[in-house]
Amino acid sequence: MSLKEAYPMARKSLRIIQKSIAFAAALGLMGLTAACSSPSSNQPENGPVEIRFSWWGNATRADITSKAIKEFEAANPNIKVKPEYGDISGYFDKLATQVAANDAPDVITMGGAYPAEYANRGALLDLSKVKDSLDLSKLDPGALENGQVKGAQYGVSTGANALAIVANPAVFQAAGVELPDDTSWTWDDFAKTAKDITDKSPKGTYGTATVLTHDSLDAFARQRGKSLYTQDGQLGLDKGTVQAYFDYSLKLSETGAAPSASETVEKLNVSTEQTLMGMGQAGMMLTWSNSLTALSKASGAELKLLKLPGETPTPGIWLQSSQFYTISARSKHTDAAAKLVNFLVNNEAAAKIVQSDRGVPSNAGMRTAIQDLLTPQGKTEAAYIDQIGKMEFAPTFIGPTGSTAVSEITARINTDVLFKRLTPEKAAEQWLSESKAAIGK
């Protein structure tokens, strides 16, 4: 997709905000008419039923998940699972439309703040209603908490995940640049290392595949004693922190450490195989730890995981559920949907198929079951999560209703900074104003 076809970003963001408003209105109507609708079934069903299961990801994930579905269907012959999947770029737009039209899949894969967003608007099932078909007793306590909204369980963690720097040692070696010491490096070290790689590599290869992302804004803030959101659902960032974030993002692009503004925009929302890291044209990439296997396969290189820069003296990292399995509040087959989720998180056959594709399993028994099956990359991911899990870091607070729009605001304003339509100072002011409006604070 060309730059002209994909943007301007402002129009895209406006469409997303308009869709979010329409979605919220539709959910409000849904709540008003719920009493008139046929109730969802929470009872075991004896006859054959079909449920829909949605997720996002590349072809490898689709193949893995399809195999797990076949195992589930073999064990549950009266339940047929219809898969629905696609790229992350359009996944949540499609889901918002489906939910607003009362046509949501029965089992919905979500990530980040989306479970809270949808649960607060009445679109997700309180999983205590299907406790006879969904056993959550074997999941790690922290993983369970990640899927709770106001004390109720709405999401089931697919596995643990953490931000990391994925590094390609072959690119470092070709550029004659040494791998950094990730126990002590700073963000200045990261920028210098990335620039050195770009300067000493063939045209089109960069030290870092991306500038900063919305996820890295959270870590960037936490290292400064701030947080993206507070426990009571407010924004936890001040102007100075947000401005420093945009300053740094611009610095990476201006110095050549990262791609130019136009190249960065062209690489937004592309598949794993189309990222610079996936094509072997980047020394580093700030992303989630469970991306290592897919990026390694795409690049054909032996990649490594490094801790984030700037973790000393105040860690900014945190453990996060890679994704969540949720059930639509409007599903007519909640018992069957719960059985599928239960199978995916508690069954050894499923664990051996999925392995660490959706994060390191949150069920200790499943972690043991797959240990010997993991690829070298999978073992690296598991070891990284184990290392992060032993760290002491600040608590993480799920974003309030409306917070899913904040990531879009961050991306759009960051793009305006990269194209120099906004100074970092003005960008920080605009980000705070728009983000507060998005969450209604």
Q: Which of 212, 340, 201, 223 is nearest to 281 (CA)?
A: 201
Mean per-residue pLDDT, 282-311: 94
Residues 6+ apart with CB under 8 A from 44: 132, 133, 335
For the stretch 131-147, pLDDT in tens is 999 999 999 887 888 89
Q: Residue 382's closest CA among 370, 394, 392?
A: 370
Q: Give the pLDDT score at 45.
A: 59
CB contact set of 192 (below 8 Å; sequence gap of 6+): none
Looking at domain 3-160+322-389, does it have CATH number 3.40.190.10?
yes
Ordered by start, the domain boundaries in the chain are 3-160+322-389, 163-319+397-439
Residue 44 confidence class, pLDDT cut points 50, 70, 90: low
Higher local confidence (pLDDT), 43 or 439: 439
Q: Quick one: pLDDT at residue 47?
A: 67
pLDDT band of residue 43 (cuts 50, 70, 90) is low
DSSP result, 132-147: TT---TTB-HHHHHHT
> Does 245 have pLDDT greater than 90?
yes
Mean pLDDT of 172-190: 97
Distance CA 85, CA 62 (A): 7
Task: Please give the DSSP secondary-structure letter assigned to residue 322.
Answer: S
CA pseudo-torsion sign 99, 104, 106, 112: negative
Which residue bears the tokens 């453990």?
Answer: 319
pLDDT tens for each residue of 92-114: 999 999 999 999 999 999 988 89
In whole numbers, what is the pLDDT of the chain averaged over residues? Answer: 87
DSSP class per residue in 211-252 = S--HHHHHHHHHTTT--SB-TTS-B---HHHHHHHHHHHHHH
Distance CA 232, CA 311 (A): 26
At 24, is the pLDDT very low, low, confident or very high (cuts 50, 70, 90)? very low
What phi and psi, each to the nearest 5 degrees, are found at residue 226? -110, 180
pLDDT tens figures, 376-415: 998 999 889 888 877 888 877 778 888 889 989 999 999 9
- The predicted structure's pLDDT at residue 395: 79
Taken in order 137, 140, 142, 148, the sign of the CA dihedral is: negative
Q: What is the mean pLDDT of residues 239-248?
A: 96
| The pLDDT value given to residue 369 | 93
In this prediction, residue 373 carries a pLDDT of 93
- What letter would DSSP give residue 179? P
Mean pLDDT in residue range 368-372: 92
Pick the closest to residue 209 from 279, 293, 303 (CA basis): 279
Q: HEC states along 323-365?
A: CEEEEECCCCCHHHHHHHHHHHHHCHHHHHHHCCECEECCEHH
Q: Is the pLDDT of residue 171 over 70?
A: yes
Task: Output the furthest CA–CA distance in the chain (Å, rounded).
Answer: 69
* CA neighbor of 421 nearest in space, from 5, 7, 1: 7
Q: Is the pLDDT of residue 25 over 60?
A: no
pLDDT on residue 268: 80
Residues 163-319+397-439: name the CATH superfamily.
Periplasmic binding protein-like II (3.40.190.10)
Query: What is the per-residue pLDDT across 303-333, written as a single tens digit (0 to 9) for each?
Result: 999 999 999 899 999 888 889 999 999 999 9
Q: Which helix (H) or strand (E) holds 306?
A: strand 304-306
